[in-house]
Structure 1
Amino acid sequence: MKAQQEIKTIRELIQLKQANMLSANPEYQRGAVWSRTQQRKLVDSVMRGYPLPVIYLHHIKTEVAGMAREDLEIIDGQQRINALYEFAEGAFTLFDPVTDDVKARFPAFIKAQPCPWAGKNSDQLDPETRKRFLDTPLSVAMIETDQVNEVRDLFVRLQSGLPLNAQETRDAWPGQFTEFALKLGGKPELARYPGHGFFTRTLEMKPSADRGKTRQLAAQLAMLFLTRRAEGADKLCDINAGSINEFYYSNLDFDAEAADPQRLLSALTTIETLLIPGQHPKLRGHDAIHALLLVDSLMDDYAPSWQDRFPNALDSFLAGLANAKSDIDGTEPDEFWTQYGQWTRVNSDRGDNIARRHRFYMRKMHEFLQPLTLKDPQRLFGEIERTILFFDQGKSCAECGGSVAWNDCEIHHVVEHSQGGQTTLENAALVHKACHPKGEAKTKAFASKFAAAKVGAAG
């Protein structure tokens, strides 16, 4: 086999294709599989001066009946050549980075750059831009061999490298959230990305060998944590592949030094400090999600004594889950399975199922962490109790019966605190801020109504 590196312009490759002198061998090549979006972005890359990978061509010389013929068979680069050819033939227009934002998903710095080819096909380009496109030089490896098997072997070798998976692709995206996820999840081959100890020590993950699995989990935890902080404790987002991509794109200008990202780092460090490796069952991704969100709820409202009980509380929860899993075929599956375990297997990356699990997780951990002491006795209920009540009462006001939003709810002591009423879930009611009973008469009337409702529900 002989190989020689050459430069050919897009114009020359198109002319060869038009003359039927450049083609792919259908015996081992796929057909055209790129989407129009992929083709449009490839041409946009050329317009911006981005270099393309080397194209491999098999230079075939044949002689038939005393006549010589030369052809080029594509070994690697078929999809790129098709995209360039079809654009030159006027088959499609290019993206406008601004008006096609929903589909194109260009980062902000691209949108800010001039784009004279936006929304145009090749015939609509101004002469200078069209000439620059057609005269773009491409690196071509010209292969000469009479052994067809050598060509096929080269094709297999070129295709045998593992393609980038979804997270490895995200690692290359522009934007500050990319940097944040890399620092959290780690990429140890780069010294500046050792990874947070929560992932490498507590979860015992191996970011150097898992092809982005650790960084994907780090991104998912960050999404849930930051969305919940921004939109309320009742808001948990989807964390499937499409949602992760959307979050990366929507946070190109992410500020890692802002309060919430720094709080996330603090919460992860707290859990890492509390859980000694080897002394607890290995935590999985869903364990990490709920532990992080719970610690976020505990950090502000409760005296730090909860930290001493957190490891044992977590062990109690994991033991309950393990027992439930061992008896899922029983006549009456345990609540740890019906309300938590099964939702780690069915659509586990959907926000509504994560929220379903987290409601159960918070309720059980609230039991296991007792006694929880509020930092400020004047704050009648902490976030955990507030969250549990919010869902237990179906997001409905106990006074008027109407739907209540997270940012418009308060917790009322049914028996007033000043009259000895305890700050417990049993003595609490979710109400609108405007419906919160004030004064002795209204408080007594509410207590009677609430008691009657509980008796009716029990009956």
Structure 2
Amino acid sequence: MSKKTLPIATICAWMPRIDPTPDYQRPPAWSRKQKQLLIDSILREYDIPKMYWRSVDRDDGVKYEVIDGQQRLRTIWEFRDGKYALPRDTDPIQGIECSGKKYDDLDMDISTVFDSYAVDVVIIDDAIQTDEEDEVRDMFLRLQNGTTLKAQEKRNAMPGQMRNFAREIAAHPFFENCKFNNSRFTFDHVASQMICIEIAGGPTSVRDSDLNRMYRSNTAFDANGKHGKKVRRVLDYLLRAFPEKTPELERYNAISLYCLASTLLEGYVHLGTENHLASWFIDFETSRRANDHLDEEERDASLIEYKRMTSYSTDAEESIRGRLEFLEKLFFSKFPDIEPRDTIRTFTPEQRLAIFRRGGGVCQIVTHCDGGKLSWGEWHADHITPHTKGGKTVVSNGQIACPACNLSKGSG
């Protein structure tokens, strides 16, 4: 580390070379009053806390990333750019009236005080190794210990692959179509809850303490493992179901629909059901909201109970499980013809032998091969009607496929 004392004029001139929000940082959070108070302190030449920057060398020209001091830095830049004025009740500074004035309106003596004010900046050398990268994140958490950081903002500064995967999933376009916005990493929070549910294999408690534990115990999480792939598949399915902004997608609804879609993908012939899910859900939400406006004696008791589960302890396992069971009952009653998948996906050795003999040892697909004879260890037993479309794992639905042809079909 090294310490520099930089005048505000230099800090403003360096703005294009400073990144105030590296990925572990929280977004801007200060109110107008907080910003005005800092500027008032600077103009009166009071001491303000030092900043911590990390020295980097990025292709976009950035030379520093802000570890601590982002809110102060943005406040200084915004005041210098005339984004806001001092309060109208500001007392005179050095006997000069400053109330309600922006930077360009200040007396020259006062603006000179601002430009020449010296800020202490601690520079941390560029961290190249992973363990040093983790130290930078740990430093961020320690420096923020006295401030009000939301739980997800703290998790975003935790080291490890779970944190990286959650950030990746939070960028999935499905979240942009939900009613809630990404204020203070809300997308990351909901994405983390979905990942937690997927790892648990179904409804589970997704409170902050549960998510913190998941981040800590999955620092080596494999984003391309079965859970990572499943989370992406479910969100892709939900995006196909809701390709546009959908105001009914509240946070609790996004979680409930994730659980329902995960169940569909895991155990049912789900291809082509996206429109069914979307139209049914919007109709359900319309009916549920209409129920709230009925006279008390006319309301559907089951919808009253469902509303209770969406209003209190929505992150608790009991609430998530109750909502899922209620929605599953309605959805599958509406679409009783959605067929469960065959619980057996892999052909037995006896079935494979029968399929091989019946097909004469020749690839039946012939899209990436010449249809030549295959030896026993060189072929795949393929479902003629794909398993994902309800194909049974029986000899009559099996065919010989060379590896190239079979893998070219995709997973469906």
What TM-score do you get using the length of structure 1 for normalisation?
0.41
Structure whose alpha-carbon radius of gyration is higher: 1
What TM-score do you get using the length of structure 2 for normalisation?
0.46
